[in-house]
A and B are shown apart, each in its own frame.
Chain A
Amino acid sequence: DSGVTQTPKHLITATGQRVTLRCSPRSGDLSVYWYQQSLDQGLQFLIQYYNGEERAKGNILERFSAQQFPDLHSELNLSSLELGDSALYFCASSGLSGTASYEQYFGPGTRLTVT
């Protein structure tokens, strides 16, 4: 158990809908990262937050947004869902931002299926 929690574990929804994925980092970790893992794109970095502030953006679509709250939990919002958004979404956390030495601990993931 990495200490990172994600809810829900599975989500099935229809095209055009909006969903929210939730992540609670390990106790004490200030950074939260979101990743998308799909069969054709592999593991893609989406976005990073550090202590409530956006720190880095990767291949995140404009239909997607995220935020980190004062209690450090984070939410990833996916809107106008398309079939291609079906993927495993991971949240990870680490201790400090911008420091290459801090490994990221991954949550169990949320499997999103868009029908």
Chain B
Amino acid sequence: AQKITQTQPGMFVQEKEAVTLDCTYDTSDPSYGLFWYKQPSSGEMIFLIYQGSYDQQNATEGRYSLNFQKARKSANLVISASQLGDSAMYFCAMRGGFKTIFGAGTRLFVKA
């Protein structure tokens, strides 16, 4: 069975510092995709970054990078140079086969 685990319910980070949000997963599918989404207080789900299971390099999108360690089954999101607008809920998700599952989320608070 597929499973996504986000062990940090809440995180604090100082503005302009980097922060790592943890995500571990479990799947028996040989091919899968890992995603991170941001959900601000307004409620919309914003796609941030994607990593394919066969991708050799870690994905990066601007200030977001995904630290993919396949053997450890982890897909941590790194946000560099945090901004106040990064305060939001962050969800890790995995798509294998036809289903997508989401983790419970991590609420990030950026302090000025």
Contacts and interface: CB of A to CB of B under 8 A. Distances in A.
Q: How large is the interface on A (under 10, 10 to 19, 20 to 34, 35 or more residues)?
A: 20 to 34
Contacts of B43: 88, 108-109, 111
Given A92-B45, A108-B44, 17 more contacts: A2-B47, A42-B104, A42-B105, A45-B100, A100-B32, A100-B52, A100-B53, A100-B95, A100-B96, A101-B33, A101-B50, A101-B52, A102-B33, A105-B47, A106-B45, A106-B46, A106-B47
Given A100-B32, A106-B45, A45 B37 contact: no
Contacts, number: 60
Q: Tell me the dominant secondary structure on chain A's binding face.
A: strand
Interface in A40-70: 42-45, 48, 55-56, 58
26 contacts: A2-B46, A2-B47, A42-B103, A42-B104, A43-B102, A43-B105, A44-B102, A45-B100, A56-B97, A88-B43, A90-B45, A92-B45, A97-B98, A100-B32, A100-B52, A101-B50, A101-B52, A104-B95, A104-B100, A105-B47, A106-B37, A106-B45, A106-B46, A106-B47, A109-B43, A111-B43
